[in-house]
Amino acid sequence: MPLELRNMEVEPPVSKLKLCEVGSEQNGKSRLAATGRVPILFHDFDNKRESLQGIPGVYAITYIDPAWPKQPDAFQLFLDVVSQLEESLDLNVLSQKFNLGLNVAPGTLVRTNVVDSINTCGKSASNYAMFNSPDLRRDIVLGKGEKTLKLFIQKNWDAWNAEVKAVENAVLRLLALPSDTIIILHETEEEAADSTPEKKRFTGRAGVYPARYQALLKYFPEVWRIKLTQIVANNQTKYVPRVYPFPNYEFDSGTTMLLDETEEPNIRNMIAKHESRLKQRSLSGGQPPSKALPQGVKI
């Protein structure tokens, strides 16, 4: 990749979105990612592209490992797709290259890549590594004859390290593309320092699951938590997805954008709000927008 020198003072706002979404299952993470800048290409490792049905401008490739004794190839196929995107972001070219049968006009360039989710992507990377490097695994055999099923279990820290390194390299390649990148991580209860397998103790905070992918957060200026939140409307109580871009007592979110503490789950609207507030700040001689920002936010 050639070196680039940019004058960040005049760099347009949100020219390239690098976003990590964190949240529990079924809290709206995929639907939030689908509100990014279109065309959006979902790299679907969770095999749930049906949740995106009917959303315009969204395309999905599902990666599934075949069963034993065939070689797991989901992660390698993902890397092949990334390699093609490095040559061209054209969805028409991508479809022809891999015989995907996608009817899309030439020149339809991917604007946003989404990895959904990192946890399952990591499992695919681990399966691929263990199949090709027996020293990384323990084998468990279930059944007999034609119905034999062989399972691979990580044998040592090298197996975990190989998985994380493979995923990290793939994410960095996506981040280098001239397009937005969104990765989706799951969350779990954060364990206290004195927690043990026999007696679990928790801090009351949320953490990234699995914890080894906490290391990916450093590559993302935007780390948003999405959570089902109770609201009352027309005398009815319901739970709806809400985005929390600023850190609080529950989770260390982070953002470089001028947003509110709680946002409706729409990325394009959030970008527009940020750009509007930047323009307002510029017109006011560098003073903060009239709308109060969360305490401690630097602008």
As a whole number, the mean pLDDT across the chain is 91
Residue 9 is predicted with a pLDDT of 78
The residue among 168 and 291 whose pLDDT is bigger is 168
The secondary structure element, H or E, covering residue 22 is: strand 18-23
Q: pLDDT tens across 143-185, in order?
A: 877 777 888 888 888 999 999 999 999 999 999 999 999 999 9
Dihedral angle at the C-alpha atoms of 248, 164, 125, 86, nearest 10 degrees? 90
Dihedral angle sign, alpha carbons of residues 10, 217, 63, 189: negative
CATH 3.40.50 assigned to domain 18-122+158-283? The reply is yes
Residue 298 is predicted with a pLDDT of 42
Q: pLDDT tens across 133-148, in order?
A: 989 999 888 887 777 7
Give yes or no for residue 297 having a pLDDT over 50.
no
Give yes or no for residue 50 having a pLDDT over 80.
yes
The residue among 192 and 123 whose pLDDT is bigger is 123
Q: Identify each DSSP E strand in 133-288 by its residue range.
A: 137-142, 149-154, 180-191, 202-209, 222-233, 236-244
Residue 149 to residues 84, 97, 124, Cα–Cα distance (Å): 34, 33, 17
Give the per-residue SS3 of 24-49. Answer: CCCCCHHHHHCCCCCCEEEEECCCCH
Collapsed DSSP state (helix, strand, coil) of residue 174: helix
Residue 286 is predicted with a pLDDT of 65
The rounded distance, in Å, linking the Cα atoms of 258 and 274 is 5
Residues 6+ apart with CB under 8 A from 194: 201
pTM: 0.91
Q: pLDDT tens across 81-135, in order?
A: 999 999 999 999 999 999 998 889 999 999 999 999 999 999 999 999 999 998 9
